[in-house]
Amino acid sequence: MEHRRVTAPARLAVLGSPIGHSRSPLLHAAAYRVLGLDWQYEAVEAAGGALPGFLASRDASWRGLSLTMPLKRDVMPLLASADETATLTGGANTVLFDRADGSLALRGFNTDVYGITEAFREAGIDALGSARILGGGATAASALMALHRLGAQRVLVSVRTPSRAADLVTLGSRLGVVVELGLLDDDTAGEQPDAVVSTIPGHSEAALRFAPELRSHAVLFDVAYDPWPSTLARAWDEVGGTVVSGLEMLLHQAVAQVRVFVNGDPDAALHNEQAVLDAMRASIVAA
């Protein structure tokens, strides 16, 4: 497929509920300023039931959407096509309104996997052998795929109800990763994963306890960034452990989203991308 850079004025939005805390409008506004694009990006409060009507009512000025949970999964049956990452993880956080052939086609992408992978790499972590994921939703699926890209061969997924996370075992099998399911409050004594990835809200993690040896050995990637530092991040800091904030994931997945909206391809680098990345990072650091 030939990817064409779009420069005409366009509208975009991030959808979710609640959505008032979203940093996405700051990130995207910064990117489009550097790129010299007269594009509007807003936050829209929307639950899953409103998604089909919202998509159908967008006029030709709309270029695309960013989606939060549960819309990442709700959108899948509404798409004309989805990239391999979205298909494997069962969720798309990015929708492109593609009118290249004169008619509207909704194309879905998952840029969360890229965001997680790049956040690890920017923290100096290029390879992992084993990991523990906290939570079993769409973000956990993206985390599993990112861990696979970093070389992880064994992942323990800790959830409140293991039977609801069976799809992660299936995904692991497709990726060649051994996935085991356990409870969130399982004893961590003797456990030494290379990384712990938390995909649960910050206010839900207060009861989780990890041994000091684990915290000092394993890097913590905490998807939650509001409030920050999270309870887990503070626990890691107490022993001098390595912590990667969810803001880094947010930043890098947004870069890939901008690539989709501008170039039609999450792998097609932006013009002057380093300047775009710097401006986007500055926008959320200052917030």
Active site residues: 72
Residues whose CB is less than 8 angstroms from the CB of residue 188 and which lie 6 or more positions away in sequence, other chains included:
209, 210, 211, 214
User: What's the CA gap between 280 and 271, in Å, rounded?
Assistant: 14
User: What's the CA gap between 241 and 233, in Å, rounded?
Assistant: 9
The number of C-alpha atoms within 13 Å of 76 and in the hemisphere containing its C-beta is 17
Written as six digits, the tokens of 236 are 């890691």
- Cβ–Cβ contacts within 10 Å for residue 99, how many? 13
User: What's the CA gap between 111 and 94, in Å, rounded?
Assistant: 7
- Cβ–Cβ contacts within 10 Å for residue 104, how many? 14
Residues whose CB is less than 8 angstroms from the CB of residue 182 and which lie 6 or more positions away in sequence, other chains included:
156, 157, 158, 159, 162
CB 75 within 8 A of CB 108: yes
Q: Pairing between strand 219-222 and 243-245?
A: parallel
